[in-house]
Amino acid sequence: MFTTKQNNGDYIGWSAPYGYLKSEENNNRLVIDPETAPIARQIFEWKAEGIGMMGIARKLNDMGIPSPRQRNIAMGRYKNAPTDGQFWTDATIAWIIKSPAYAGHMTQRKFTRSSVNGKQIQLSKDDWVVVRNTHEPIISDELWEKVQTVTKQYANNFGVNRRARRSDKGINILKGILFCPYCNKAMQHSVNTKYNYRNYHCVMRRANPNCSTERIKEAVMLDLVFAVVQKEIIKAVDTQKLLAKVSGSKKHLDRLINLQQSIRSANMSIKRNAALKSRLFDTFADELITEEEFRQMKDKYIAEAERLQTELADFEREHERLSTVFTKDNKRIASFVKFKNQKALTGDMVSELIEKIIMHSADTVEIIWRYADEYNAVCDMAKAGGQ
Ligand SMILES: [Zn+2]
């Protein structure tokens, strides 16, 4: 039933590798991008000279060369442009130098093709094949091979140790939450059990010349965040008291009663209007009104029904808002208050309360709360309602 498709060197990726463009005549063919190909070549030459990945990234950032992602954004290749990836990183460089595409060869997965409907079915991951000389190379085979050798030597010398050092990290409760403001990237948690340190640092620091985020001790950072959270908890406790007061006030209860009455009378008007409309046809059938009058009155009842429905929905929404916001059980406020007896920052507190932390300096952090809009609105309303 299945036949193996011949490897034809078609490029099927989403966008061309950095240094190349997809051919305008054939979307599956790569052509050299005259703007970025020299930079791709330079990356290989630097690597062959023994410069590290991070060093190369730093050079490119210093020179103001747009990163591959920035280039894709500039070329309009995203529907929604991502906000990260504005800088070259060691990972970007690593990705480029291991790709045989730069020597003119295509890496491809083997595919099988159903002989019935022509659909391609992917085989296992091990089935990568290199199809040689599918497009114009940016560098020679010799340079490509040399760079692979240099990279392998480096990995043998340093890679193993680095991986071992990284293994026992323990828990990082700010994982994916603590950000460097200069690089807009989550900060790395580094742990060294031998010298007994636990730090946060920006991995982009060495690559981004504009980054001045200092390395900071985990304990210092957690205390800093906890101090801000504690302040917010105290505010939430006050807000909860205010909400309890407002929700028990005569003014608030009167507003709720008025709204309930409005909802009842809107419902009654809707029923009455519907009854009048259904009686209208009888009136017309008994020839008490003309066809013209019938049409006009029917339109009037329909318009009135719509108006009443909108009015009812407004009353209901306002009632819902007032009764869920102005209660001491307000969800957003309660989520803070429940941590009021905690003595230190915990993973639960972070995951329940915090969306993002931006480290502006060693003693200033900005915290973006989860459900921030809703939370701030409640605090404002409580203040306004309490006056
Ligand atoms: Zn940074």
pLDDT (0 to 100) of residue 370: 92
What is the spatial distance between Cα 248 and Cα 226, in angstroms, rounded to a whole number?
A: 33
The alpha carbon torsion through 100, 101, 106, 111 (nearest 10 deg) reads 90
List of domains in the chain: 2-159 (3.90.1750.20), 222-386 (no CATH)
- Please choose, from the candidates 16, 20, 19, the residue with its C-alpha nearest in 3D space to the C-alpha of residue 31: 20
Placement of tokens 């994982």 in the chain: 175
b/e code 194-221 from CB counts within 10 Å (16+ = b): eeeebbbbbbbbbbbeebebeebebeeb
Q: For residue 190, report the distance from its CA to the centre of ligand 1, in Å.
A: 15
Residue of 240, 230, 238 whose CA lies nearest to 325: 240
353 CA distance to ligand 1 middle (Å): 24
The whole-number pLDDT of residue 21 equals 92
C-alpha 235 chain-centroid distance? 29
User: Amino acid letter at 261?
Assistant: Q
Tell which wins on pLDDT, 303 or 124: 303
Say how many CA atoms lie within 13 Å of 351 toward its Cβ.
Answer: 6
Whether 213 and 187 have beta carbons less than 8 Å apart is answered as: yes
Between the CA of 229 and the centroid of ligand 1 the distance, in Å, is 24
Distance (angstroms) between ligand 1 centre and the Cα of 369 equals 22
Average pLDDT, the chain: 86
- CA–centroid distance, 82 to ligand 1, in Å, is 17
Check pLDDT > 70 for residue 254: yes
Q: Which of 44-53, 116-125, 144-153, 241-250 has the lowest mean pLDDT?
A: 116-125
- Residue 305 is predicted with a pLDDT of 95
Ligand 1 center to 58 CA (angstroms): 12
| Per-residue pLDDT tens digits for 266-299 | 999 999 999 999 898 888 888 888 889 999 999 9
Q: How far apart are CA 24 and CA 166, in angstroms?
A: 45
The alpha carbon of 362 and the centre of ligand 1 are apart by a number of angstroms equal to 13
The rounded Å distance from CA 188 to ligand 1 centre is: 10
Closest CA to 355 of 375, 330, 340: 375
Six token digits for residue 146: 């040399």
| CA 191 / ligand 1 centre spacing (Å) | 19
Using pLDDT thresholds of 50, 70 and 90, give the confidence band for residue 122.
Answer: low
Distance CA 328, CA 347 (A): 25
Would the pLDDT of 7 be above 60? Answer: no
The confidence score (pLDDT) of residue 338 equals 94
CA pair distance 30, 131, nearest whole angstrom: 13
d(CA 164, CA 287): 95
Measure Cα distances from 13 to 27, 30, 80, 101, 126 in Å.
10, 10, 19, 12, 18
Q: For residue 4, name the pLDDT band (cuts at 50, 70, 90).
A: very low
CA of 182 to the centre of ligand 1 (A): 5
- pLDDT of 82: 80
CA of 363 to the centre of ligand 1 (A): 16
Distance CA 48, CA 56 (A): 11
**Tokens describing residue 165:** 């050092």
Strand, helix or coil for residue 33: coil
Closest CA to 241 of 47, 385, 90: 385
- What backbone phi and psi angles, to 5 degrees, belong to 335? -65, -30
Question: Hey, what amino acid is at 11?
Answer: Y
Give me ligand 1 centre to Cα 342, in Å.
31
Residues linked to residue 359 through DSSP beta bridges, in sequence order: 365
pLDDT beyond 70 at 354: yes
C-alpha dist (Å) from residue 343 to 223, 227, 349: 10, 10, 11
The Å distance, Cα 337 to ligand 1 centre, comes to: 33
Ligand 1 centroid to Cα of residue 99, in Å, is 27
pTM for this one? 0.63
The string of DSSP codes covering 184-221 is TEEPEEEEETTTTEEEEE-TTTTT-TT--PPPEEHHHH
pLDDT at 115: 47
Annotate 234-277 with three-state secondary structure.
HHHHHHHHHHHHHHHCHHHHHHHHHHHHHHHHHHHHHHHHHHHH
The amino acid occupying position 333 is I
CA of residue 214 to ligand 1 center, whole Å: 9
Asked whether the predicted pLDDT for residue 117 surpasses 80, the reply is: no
The per-residue pLDDT for 298 is: 92
The pLDDT of residue 37 is 96
Q: Lowest mean pLDDT: which of 63-72, 81-90, 286-295?
A: 81-90
| CA of 60 relative to ligand 1 center, distance in Å | 16
What is the rounded distance in angstroms from the CA atom of residue 305 to the CA atom of residue 152? 76
Question: Which pLDDT band, with edges at 50, 70 and 90, does 102 fall under?
Answer: very high
336, 233 Cβ separation under 8 angstroms: yes
Please check the confidence at residue 210 and state whether its pLDDT lies above 50.
Answer: yes
Is residue 118 predicted with pLDDT exceeding 50? Answer: yes
